[in-house]
Structure 1
Amino acid sequence: MTKLELFEPAMCCSTGVCGPSVDETLLMITSAFEGLSKVSTVEASRHNLTSDPDAFVKNEKILSLMKENGKDSLPVTLLNGEVMKSGSYPSLDEITDYTGVVFMNQEQSSSCCGGSGCC
């Protein structure tokens, strides 16, 4: 099983719809992880520094990155325990590379995937 973990900076919410403006990247990440939750071969989890600080403390790689680079190292993407990306969120193409799950845009997904966003 593929294990994909995302360690995110402190935020009030993970969806990107809080505050004065919508963060499109967070919306995309939220949708991608919701799609991955339905894939039996992928274990995907998100850890927010505000709501899940224990996950940061318990992961030596995350602790090391944060000691070296501080909060600028976040977000961090781990694939099967290995750091794949640090300092920015993964793109959909990168998530596809990591997991093998292909994500479609809304126009494509409505015709081939029943509107779920991933095939």
Structure 2
Amino acid sequence: METQDVIEIFEPPMCCAGGLCGPDVDENLLRFNEALITLKKQLGSKVATYRYLANQQFEKFQANTAVMKLIHGQGMSALPVTVVNGAVLNQGAYPTLEDLLSAINGKGE
């Protein structure tokens, strides 16, 4: 049975889930949202993505010791933090589609 890859994104406080609201849209966030849509189209149910906002789901942050360690060391500038299958992929910026695919395809190597 094939296992499902899990991508978790721990994001800074935003006005809405996805951050694409308000008068100024962050181009990096827009690119990241497009990358997630493409990833879902390519992999379907083989990947699950979860996005957590610091101002709405802080309990998810507290439950992840690696994320909390980064926040304690660097403050909120460590965000966003992307975790793939339990391992931190990157921090302080959103990954590209290529980064995500590489992390998923490279598992267990």
Do Structure 1 and Structure 2 share a fold, with TM-score over 0.5? yes
- 1:95-110 map, 5 Å: 95-100=100-105
Q: TM-score, normalised by structure 2?
A: 0.79
What residue ranges of structure 2 are gaps of 5+ in the alignment? none
Cα shift readout 1:4-56 (whole Å, capped 9, x = no counterpart): 11110011123343232221221222233344456111121111111211100
Is 1:48 aligned to residue 50 of structure 2?
no
Distance 1:47 1:84 in 2: 16
Q: Distance in 2 between matches of 1:54 and 1:37?
A: 26
RMSD: 1.8
Amino acid in structure 2 at the alignment position of 1:30: N
Matched residue, 1:64: 69
Rounded to whole Å, the distance in 2 between the matches of 1:15 and 1:90 is 15
Q: Is it true that 1:14 corresponds to 2:5 in the alignment? A: no
CA distance in 2 between counterparts of 1:49 and 1:22 reads: 19
Aligned-pair identity in percent equals 37
**C-alpha distance in 2, partners of 1:17/1:78?**
21
Structure 1 spans left out of the alignment, 5+ residues: 101-119
State TM-score, norm by structure 1.
0.73
Q: For 2:27 and 2:104, how far apart are their aligned partners in 1?
A: 22
Q: Which residue type is aligned with residue 10 of structure 2?
A: F
**Kept in 1: contact 2:10–2:51 (CA 8 A):** yes
Higher-RCO chain (CA-CA 8 Å, sequence separation at least 6): 2
1:78 aligned residue (59, 79, 83): 83
